[in-house]
Amino acid sequence: MSKKVALITGITGQDGAYLAEYLIRKGYIVHGLKRRSSLFNTERIDHLYQDPHEQDRRLILHYGDLTDSLNLTRIIGETQPEEIYNLAAMSHVKVSFDTPEYTANADALGVLRILEAVRLLKLTHKTRIYQASTSELYGLVQEVPQKETTPFYPRSPYAVAKLYGYWITVNYREAYGMHASNGILFNHESPLRGETFVTRKVTRAIARIALGMQEKVYMGNLSARRDWGHAKDYIRAMHAILQQDEPSDYVIATGITTTIRDFIRMSFGEIGIGIEFRGEGMEETARLSSVDEARFVRKVGDNYLEALRKRIGQELVGVDVNYFRPAEVDLLIGDSTKARSRLGWEPEYTLESLIEDMMHHDLKLMKKDSYLQRGGYKILNYFE
């Protein structure tokens, strides 16, 4: 039996890396679109890399960019994929306010370029397309919880661009009979999450605070609520969507929403550090209130306990207005009944086990990475 061929755009990102690994395990040949960068940017997929001289390669990378239609058309033509997962995007909501035109080019027109390439290459009936749509489409939510029929109300250049991507996918499905589907994925996180998204910023900062490498972390809106799942669970849904006989759009979510404040509290708690929030708005802070010493020693190590004891009462979390967005999405909570009944999809991770995974990873990373110990953390001084 010939192996199925998939093309993943955004293969160097969080989801692309997990999906590539998943598809290779399923026997696929995976082609990945990778942007040229002046430094290596393949860290998330290095474990899957195969030398071009090896026979029978399962992972093949191609230079490309969603803003370059000629290049996309050539790669799709050469690889003739059965499945395309369009995961590439300028994916940071706050950064999209700084780079709105580029975001529209990549996140909106990029989708069109892929659909049009498939059509022009006459692959309409061969190639199935997954478009990485997002819960950000719901923005100023019109219904709680959000499901496939909830009206959209985007609140950022990112979300407006993704709105175009969503509808052009539906349009090509209806106009040309393409097997093109949207996964409307709610926030999903992991140890591979980009360092400037809120969960990873928090788990990295807490790891550093626990190890005595950092005093305090500054955050934006602590009251926003998100429906967080694990990326490993969510990429299973992407694959299942393309295995359906009929294309369709699916919400993928856990159905549980949590404030940023509680995510921070739970992440400190995971390693035995108790914190107490006080004050409101810009004046809100969290202080170190207690230490579960047995848990801290088990999770972090006894070398760091004495220094932490001395910090009881000190501020560990503050608020900085620069992390606020010009327009905020206050509440996201998804209803994924359709995916659960039609795809048989269920998440395996809980928020607690997601946090455990991320904290464990970041503690290990901070202990061993001398670059981060020397101050590599300053990259987070950008207000993302």
Residues that bind ligand G4F (CB under 6 A): 91, 93-94, 134-136, 186-187, 196-198, 201, 219-221, 224, 226, 260, 323, 325, 328-329, 332, 384
What's the min distance (Å) between Cβ of 252 and ligand G4F? 10
CA distance 273 to 295: 9
Decide whether 127 or 203 has the Cβ nearer to ligand G4F. 203
What residue 315 binds from ligand G4F, ligand NAP, none (CB within 5 to 8 A, per partner kind)? none
Minimum CB distance to ligand G4F, residue 271 (Å)? 20
| HSE-CB of 254 using CA atoms within 13 angstroms | 20
**Residue 114 or residue 219: which is nearer to ligand G4F going by CB?**
219
Q: Which of 136, 189, 270, 384 is catalytic?
A: 136
Q: Is 67 an active-site residue? A: no
The stretches of the chain forming alpha helices (DSSP H) are 14-25, 69-79, 93-98, 100-103, 110-120, 157-176, 198-210, 231-242, 260-270, 293-299, 305-309, 337-338, 351-368, 370-374
Stretch 32-51: interaction string toward ligand NAP, x if CB under 6 A:
-x-x-x---x----------
Contact region with ligand NAP (CB under 6 A), list: 9-17, 51-59, 122-130, 257-265: 9-17
Query: Which of ligand NAP, ligand G4F, none does residue 75 bind to, with CB < 5 to 8 Å depending on kind?
Result: none
Q: Which two tokens stand for residue 37?
A: 């960068």
Q: Which does 90 bind (CB under 5 to 8 A by kind): ligand NAP, ligand G4F, none?
A: ligand NAP
Residue 12 near which of ligand NAP, ligand G4F, none (CB within 5-8 Å, type-dependent): ligand NAP
Cβ(231)–Cβ(383) under 8 Å? no
* Among positions 16, 139, 247, 269, the unique one binding ligand NAP when judged by CB under 6 A: 16
- Cα–Cα distance between 155 and 149 in angstroms, integer? 18
Q: Measured from the CB of residue 64, what is the shortest distance to ligand NAP in angstroms?
A: 6
Of 62-70, 140-148, 236-244, 303-311, the window that binds ligand NAP (rule: CB under 6 A) is: 62-70
CB of 282 to ligand G4F, least distance (A): 13
Selection from ligand NAP, ligand G4F, none that 342 binds (CB < 5 to 8 A by kind) is none
Residue 326's contacts (CB-CB under 8 Å, 6 or more residues apart) are 97
d(CA 359, CA 259): 18
How many whole angstroms separate alpha carbon 89 and alpha carbon 86?
A: 8
Which range of residues in 13-21, 293-301, 305-313, 338-346 is near ligand NAP by CB under 6 A?
Answer: 13-21
Report whether the peptide linkage leading into residue 145 is cis, meaning its omega lies within 30 degrees of zero. Answer: yes
Q: Which stretch binds ligand NAP (CB under 6 A): 185-193, 238-246, 300-308, 309-317?
A: 185-193
Residue 136 bears catalytic tag: yes
Half-sphere exposure of 294 (CA within 13 A, CB side): 0
Q: Which residue is listed with tokens 């992407």?
A: 238
| Among 185, 217, 332, 363, interactor with ligand NAP by CB under 6 A | 185
Q: Is 12 in the site for ligand NAP (CB under 6 A)?
A: yes
Q: Is 211 left (phi over 0), alpha (psi -120 to 50) or beta?
A: alpha
Q: Considering CB distances under 5 to 8 angstroms, the limit depending on partner class, which of ligand NAP, ligand G4F, none binds residue 260?
A: ligand G4F
Cα 331-336-340 angle, rounded to 5 deg = 160
- Cα 90–331–219 angle (5° rounding)? 65
- Residue 134 annotated as catalytic: yes
Query: Please, which residues have CB within 8 angstroms of residue 375's CB and are 6 or more apart in sequence?
Result: none
- Name the minimum Å distance from CB 246 to ligand NAP: 22
* Least distance CB 3 / ligand G4F (angstroms): 31
Q: How many CB atoms lie within 10 A of CB 198?
A: 22
Longest CA pairwise span in the chain (Å) = 68
Residues near ligand NAP (CB under 6 A) are: 9-10, 12-16, 33, 35, 37, 41, 65-67, 87-91, 106, 132, 134, 185, 187-188, 194
Catalytic residues: 134, 136, 158
